[in-house]
Structure 1
Amino acid sequence: MPFNLLERRWLPVLTRDGPDRMSLRGALARAHEVRLAGLPEDHTALLRLLLALYASAARPADTGEWDAVWRSPSLESERTGAYLDAHADRFDLFSPTRPFWQCAALSEPNREPDVLEIATWGSGVAQFASHLLLPPEPMAPQDAAVALVLMQSWHPGGIQSGHPDDPASRAGKVYGGKASPLSSITHLRITGQTLKDELLLNCPPGQRSFGDRPVWERDAPAAPMLAREPDGPLDLWTWPTRRVRLFPDEDGHVTDVAVHDGDRPADPGAAAVRWDPGAAVTARGTRLAITDAGRQPLPWAAARILAPEHDSGGCTVLEHLAAAAERGTLPPQSTWQGVALRAEHTTAHRAALSGIVALHTALGPAGVLGAPGRRAAFAEMAALPWLVQRQITRTASEALGIISAIAAARPGLSLAAHLLYAWEEFAENPDAGADGWVQVLAAAVDRVADSAGGDLMAAARIRTDALATLPAPVDLPEEGRP
């Protein structure tokens, strides 16, 4: 039974009338009217699929084209429609020869449908997803399509099922499997009012790299695992992390699944940092932290990497947002938000998923993002909590006689616990709020010092040393202020 993702309604969206499902073709045609729905990890994975589709068909080649599409009421439909028509046979979920994002060479199922659920990719399945203790039920094709995208995007690494034709297979297993692209990085998605906005905000203009093709433009994969490197963002956005085959019953519901190891880059994180514009990294090239050691959220983390210095890290979509603001394409008074996601694993080999942390982060007004001096000052304000926390941890470790790792993980010594909504308020109007932000940080230092376990000397040292890292009250510079 065919289930073509270009024509069948499977993609979860929000319309003016509420939640709905749309086909890929319908979502692109009405991208100016709808938004993607679902949990943050679903939303981001599905958006990357749509980015690959849109960029393959009609990615703006330069900033002039990008600005024109941004100002247009809808996405350009003629090129996109022609592209979809040319590749329509590659989007059938159950095609016998080219099943979408799958491997037709897999003829024998080895798992039940629950293998597609994120809850099965880690430990403690029964505790956190008790329905998995029951016999698995057939999965509706629209749900299986979403789950397939999530598996290829988020699946962890480690030992994988080996296909009989795979020479690397030992006793039915292959070792050293790599985590999927999203599972290997901190990913930042710029949010928008519509799907059209999100596609453009997360798709910087540019030319297709030589050899870069999405999965539907590539030859059908053989069953064995393949060691290779991505050729560009289109390849990475649709990376075949696993060889998968969905087996439907006569009603089109998935009753069995085959899952084996797929394509392996040498270093998935490095490959994603090179090609995924949403990869957010530190200056060392490591994944940007979005929680502190005590697992408190750090909503200023993304804004910190707006700093012009090379030691602050980077993210291409954030640079793209700032460049659009600097050109005046984005209204100066508009304020911008992002969603940062980071997969957490139970082992250093990323062999099991313990959770996916999602963080909504305020990125400030376009008027600040588009003025280099004001943007740098904004990033400096975003760096202050990190500097203060570092000093708190250092002093607390010395004054309380505990190692730094224990001090950093103590909830009472977390500055971030007192700053979540304060950052949102500051980022909405940083021109007027710099002094207030410093004062809020100082007040948070007082509350942290009071948590020093009744040791008045330690509390005094923590307070004095941490406050010394804060600047005197300052204003953001006048440059570019409307």
Structure 2
Amino acid sequence: MGGAPEHVHCHGSARRLILHQRAAGRPRRVARGLLRLLGDRVSFPLTTGAWIPVYDHDSRTFREVGLNEALLAAHRLEFTGRGQEGAVLLRVLLAAFDAAAGPVTYEEWVAAWQAETLDAARITAYLEQWEHRLDLLHPQHPAFQCGALTDFPRDARVLHPSYLGGAGGRMLSEAFRAEEGRFPAWEPGQAARALLVLIGYDVAGIKRAAPGDRTARAGKVYGSHTGAVAQVSHVNIVGRTVKDTILLNLPPQPRRRGDAPVWERTAPAAPMAVRQPVGRLDVLTWPGRRIRLRTDSEGRVDRVARHDGDRMPDPWRQLAEFDPLSLWREGREGGLVPAAITDSHGVLVPWAAARSVLDPDGEEGGTPGYSGVGRHLARILDEGWMADYGPVRVEASATLHTTPHKSVISDVSAELVALGTGGFLTARADRSDLAAAARTADVYLARLRAIVKEVAPAHHPRMADRIDFMPLHGRWEKAAGVLASDPVQGRRLWRADLGAHARQVLEMLPLRLDERARAEVLAEEALPIAEFTGNVTPSHDRLRHLVSPPRRPRTKAPRTGRPTLRALTAYGETKSLAQWAKDPRCQVSYPTLRARAAAMENGQDAESILTTPASRSRRPALPEPAAVIPAPRAALCKGCGMPVTGAISRCEECRAKRVTADWLYRKEIAEVIFSPAKRAELLRRLAGGEALADACIELDLTPHRAHGFAAYDDDWRGQLDDALTVGRDPDLDHGTERAYRYGGCRCPECRTAHDAVSATSR
């Protein structure tokens, strides 16, 4: 931000006059004043202005282009947008091309894929037709904005992505330290990208009511939704050029009646509206906020109006239907729910992103789901249209919110995940192997958690939820690359990585010798995986939730990469186990059906395993003891000779000897329960304004644990007090018992006041 505008356009004689005045050394305000007198205006057409980041393969430079050049020269440009900006810019590129010359059938898609360039004639005609509606600074209908807004109560800081992170996010940016009205203005190209990010990722909660909004209460609107992009996880295929990226992420389909991008629609009124999306173009450019930008005398954006916009009545169902970049899975009660590709710590898991694209239907033993991009890629690969293509990568992203009502964004996790070359992925068996390897990682993690939960000490039952799986993330790409060239070696390498990680986890856990020995025995029996499979059905009593059942003897051709027991023939029909589990004739769940199919002997009736209800047999009764065994004699303490009433001696001499060892043991356990990542997340939540009790519930902690960690870290008390002070409610009267008791504030001043009141009442 700052400096003279590079791509702000003026019109007619006014522009020539401005250039003459600047050449004469006159102040810019004089030129701008002449501009107003002549009735001319400042504009920034998104069709020709520089605002989309690309890499030019001809000039070998990174630069910014407009929509015209991005689409007409798509065969020699590479899209370099990543993260939040990349997600929203790609949606605009997809919508613009789809509206101008999008393929309707796969025959048209193949023709576009094999052509050297995109359809230049149709694209040029379309962008010329709608160029006036793609002007960022148009006085009546500015692009992606609401022209009916004329009051600009906020300065330019609202456009900064850190603004969506609450107080904690703003602490990371020095620009937010500026006073209201002194935030640096945005150049038009930067403002265009920031505007799309704000529309796609804006948080939920209370918004300032737009003029004329009948739903307003005391000047505010309640219950606004998060931006359409921030509601679910997304994946998109990263092509070598803009042309490849657009076609790989745009499944061909006819345009629905009434479906249109936002620039083709009538300018929306200022008040919030609830309406159903019409189709893909509508969802890709969904106007979830009413925003208007105001420029200063230099043509830079310095003020913003922001209000709630269009709301979907059932956003999950409509996004799953129309958004090809979103990820979904089957819910427990039917229907589709957003699929998670992050772990319990909010870190994006690369093999989960790969599996969502390679196995969207859950055929490798996972939960059936839906991915429009995944199914589109499968069709392309099955037809062999990418047999000569180089490396294929996907960019996955997920939005993490600090609070359950999604009023603050804590992070937008994004990562590039390599899948392999187009030639490797063309073979369905090789794709299945890679998807099965990804599913194997999930099986391994579930078993490792079960082992740790089995041997965890009684005083720490949640130790399994705090295992660090980050070391495996970097090893996945290497294993996937080896698997693409040598499947046998790739499997061996991936299993070795999983085993090494298991040993590392078990060695770092604060376990006693007997607990560690038991964990090693369970790991030897449960963790080895002979083949890539998603089957985790129990087979015997000792490790019922850890070990897969015995496999059916192989009677057919050797395995070619796809898992066995995929299909079942019954009632004259052959369907997958997942499909049979949904069939009304099936009386058992999918795990039970898979277990029965795995153990089914030759000649067994397939209909019987479908229709026989599941039953749980009674546990055998324990035999009565033959005789009463006398209690053993009480043990004596080796240090003082006194009888030991519990596990250890309680005499003062022995307790004094154990002080240091006990403190170190408790510190080790505390650091496992309250890991550095948990501590950082707690500080971030508290600085963002979340109450200590709520933050501890979300992180599976207690306030006592949060305060008590100061016994093991001298700096922790100061860090915790600083975060509580930054995020406290400014409307409360701090330093009073009322703020502590009724306001829920736990800042140092309120705690001191509460302690004083408690001391006087005792």
TM-score range, shorter chain: over 0.9
Mapped contact 2:433–2:561 kept (Cα < 8 A): no
The aligned counterpart of 1:252 is 299
**Preserved CA contact (<8 Å) 2:51 2:66:** yes
Label 1:95 to 1:290 Cα distance change in 2 as closer, same or farther (>3 A).
Answer: same
Deviates more, 1:331-340 or 1:3-12: 331-340
2:350 equivalent in structure 1: 299
Matched, 1:417 2:461: no
In structure 2, list runs of 5 or more residues that go unmatched.
1-41, 533-557, 563-762
Deviation at residue 198 of structure 1 after TM alignment:
0.8
Q: CA deviation at 1:332?
A: 5.7
* TM-score, normalised by the number of residues in structure 2: 0.60
Q: Is the 8 A contact 2:102 2:252 kept in 1?
A: yes
- Structure number with higher relative contact order (C-alpha < 8 Å, ≥ 6 residues apart): 1
Secondary structure of the equivalent of 1:286? strand
1:395/1:461 contact within 8 Å kept: no
Structure 2 residue 339 is the aligned partner of structure 1 residue 288: yes
Question: How big is the shift at 1:89?
Answer: 1.1
Question: Which residue in the other structure is 1:8 paired with?
Answer: 49
Partner amino acid, structure 2, of 1:63: Y
The Cα offsets for residues 2-35 of structure 1, whole Å up to 9 and x where unpaired, read as 2111122222222243221111111111111112
Change (3 A) 1:53 1:462: farther
Superposition deviation, residue 282 in structure 1: 2.7
- Amino acid of the structure 2 residue aligned with 1:249: D
Q: Does 1:356 align with 2:412?
A: yes
Matches within 5 A, 1:303-318: 303-305=354-356, 306-307=358-359, 308-309=361-362, 311-318=367-374
For 2:154 and 2:464, locate their aligned partners in 1 and report how far apart those are by CA, in whole Å. Answer: 42
Q: Is the 8 A contact 1:90 1:100 kept in 2?
A: yes
Matched, 1:150 2:208: no
CA distance in 1, matches of 2:171, 2:561: 55
> 1:477 and 2:528 equivalent?
no
| Counterpart code for 2:344 | A
Task: Give the aligned partner of residue 373 of structure 1.
Answer: 429
Cα deviation for residue 125 of structure 1 reads 3.6
Supply the distance in 2 between the matched residues of 1:333 and 1:202 (Cα, whole angstroms): 16
Matches within 5 A, 1:114-263: 114-123=157-166, 124-134=168-178, 135-263=182-310
1:278 and 2:278 equivalent?
no
Structure 2: how far apart are the matches of 1:405 and 1:281? Answer: 32
**In structure 2, how many angstroms separate the alpha carbons of the residues matched to 1:464 and 1:170?**
63
Residue 97 to residue 376, structure 1, CA distance change in 2 (3 Å): same
Change (3 A) 1:325 1:399: same
Is 1:48–2:105 an aligned residue pair? Answer: no
What amino acid does structure 1 have at the position aligned with 2:340? A
Aligned residue identity for 1:85: E
Is the 1:186–1:289 Cα contact (8 Å) retained in structure 2? yes
Is 1:324 the counterpart of 2:380 in the alignment?
Answer: yes
Shift of 1:276: 0.9
Assess if the C-alpha contact under 8 Å between 2:238 and 2:392 holds in 1.
yes
2:351–2:476 CA contact under 8 A, matched in 1: yes
Q: Give me the whole-angstrom Cα distance separating, in 1, the residues matched to 2:460 and 2:253.
A: 45
Aligned residue identity for 1:472: A
Alpha-carbon shift at residue 359 of structure 1 (Å): 2.0
Q: State the alpha-carbon separation in 2 of the partners of residues 461 and 277 from structure 1.
A: 47
The answer to whether the Cα contact below 8 Å between 2:169 and 2:410 also exists between their aligned partners in 1 is: no
Measured in 2, the distance between the counterparts of 1:259 and 1:391 equals 48
CA contact (8 A) 2:347 2:413 kept: no
Q: Quick one: distance in 2 between partners of 1:459 and 1:63? A: 57
- Amino acid of the structure 1 residue aligned with 2:339: L
Letter in 2 for 1:132: F
* 3-state SS, counterpart of residue 348 of structure 1: coil
Q: Computing the radius of gyration over CA atoms, which structure comes out larger, 1 or 2?
A: 2
- Say if 1:294 and 1:409, in contact at 8 Å, map to a contact too: no
Structure 2 residue 378 is matched with structure 1 residue 335: no
Shift of 1:402: 6.5
1:59 correspondence with 2:59: no
Q: Distance in 2 between matches of 1:271 and 1:456?
A: 54
Q: Is 1:434 paired with 2:434?
A: no
Can you give the 5+ residue segments of structure 1 that lack an aligned partner in the other structure? none
The number of residue pairs the alignment matches comes to 476
Q: Percent identity?
A: 34
Secondary structure of the corresponding residue to residue 114 of structure 1: helix
Deviation at 1:341, TM superposition (A): 0.6
Mapped to 2, the partners of 1:405 and 1:52 lie a distance apart of 50
Deviations 1:276-323 (A, max 9, x none): 111112332333323211344411002323334362323111221121
The amino acid of 1:129's aligned partner reads S
Secondary structure of 1:282 counterpart:
strand
- SS of 1:340's equivalent? strand
Residue 420 of structure 1 aligns with an amino acid whose one-letter code is: H
Q: Which moved more, 1:465-474 or 1:78-87?
A: 465-474
Change in 2 beyond 3 A, CA 1:122/1:268: farther
Letter in 2 for 1:4: P
Q: Would the aligned equivalents of 2:92 and 2:285 in 1 still touch at CA under 8 Å?
A: yes
CA distance in 2 between partners of 1:218 and 1:85 (Å): 16
CA distance in 2, matches of 1:401, 1:368: 47
2:316 equivalent in structure 1: 269
